[in-house]
Amino acid sequence: MANEASELGLAQTGFNRISIGVQDFDDAVQKAVNRIKSEEETLRIIDAARANGFKSVSIDLIYGLPKQALEGFGVPLDRVIAANPGRLSIYNYAHMPTMFKPQRRIHEDDLPSGQVKLDILSMAVDKLTNAGYVYIGMDHFAKPEDELAVAQRQGRLHRNFQGYSTHSDCDLIALGLSSIGKVGPTYSQNYRNMDDYYDALDRD
């Protein structure tokens, strides 16, 4: 994750939105997916982004991860709501170990059932709408004053391969490992393997 100095550098370069992948704050869930970061670290990034002029903070959560339960997911969701991000995404975890090597470390017996996943999503929708968020569609939520919610009310909302947008068609430049870009009619994805990615950078 970034730190306050990097947030300042990004803001000075012209970046004004940030999306933070939280997944879940529960220690057991984080260990099961090998994505360990503290709630305090996440909150520091949010505070730094706001302090450096970012006009939008978005947080991503994932439901259906190993070790997750209905009651347990409500805790990180309440903490995220308290952090007051402008946007929230609640993604469904897709378990495809044949395609994604890191998922082979996950024990399928630890995954919640389909019914539990539906219950988690239903609870998330209830909690977020009760907290004042607008249900944009599929897995996205936004505060009423957020540009996405405004565009939805005005009939200007669009959806592209990356999600919902206020822009009908624009080029997207992909920066970073595995990121996907679109320029004109073409799509491209950066290398998903770190060694290949850095090798490509070394070769200009």
Instruction: Tell me the pairing of strands 56-63 and 87-92.
Output: parallel
pLDDT digits (tens, 9 = 90+) for 73-86: 988 899 999 999 99
The rounded Cα 202 to chain-centroid distance in angstroms is 29
Cα–Cα dist 204/198, whole Å: 10
Which distant-in-sequence residues (6+ apart) come within 8 Å of 161 by Cβ? 180, 182, 187
What's the pLDDT at 2?
A: 54
Give the Cβ contact number of residue 82 at 10 Å.
9
Mean pLDDT (whole number) for 90-116: 86
Mean pLDDT (whole number) for 127-143: 94
Tell me if 58 sits within 8 A of 66, measured CB to CB. no
What's the pLDDT at 199?
A: 95
pLDDT digits (tens, 9 = 90+) for 174-199: 888 889 999 999 999 999 888 999 99
pLDDT digits (tens, 9 = 90+) for 16-48: 888 888 888 888 888 888 888 888 999 999 999
Cα–Cα dist 26/38, whole Å: 9
Tell me if 176 sits within 8 A of 203, measured CB to CB. no
For all residues of the chain together, what is the average pLDDT?
88
pLDDT digits (tens, 9 = 90+) for 43-72: 999 999 989 889 889 999 999 999 998 888
CATH dotted code for 4-158: 3.30.750.200
pLDDT digits (tens, 9 = 90+) for 164-175: 888 877 888 888
Q: Which of 57, 139, 44 is nearest to 90 (CA)?
A: 139
Q: Is the pLDDT reported for residue 3 higher than 60?
A: no
How far, in Å, are 5, 56, 87, 88 from residue 19 at the CA level?
Answer: 17, 8, 9, 9
Mean pLDDT (whole number) for 6-13: 80
Mean pLDDT (whole number) for 6-17: 82
Domain with CATH 3.30.750.200 in the chain: 4-158
Which distant-in-sequence residues (6+ apart) come within 8 Å of 140 by Cβ? 87, 88, 89, 148, 163, 164
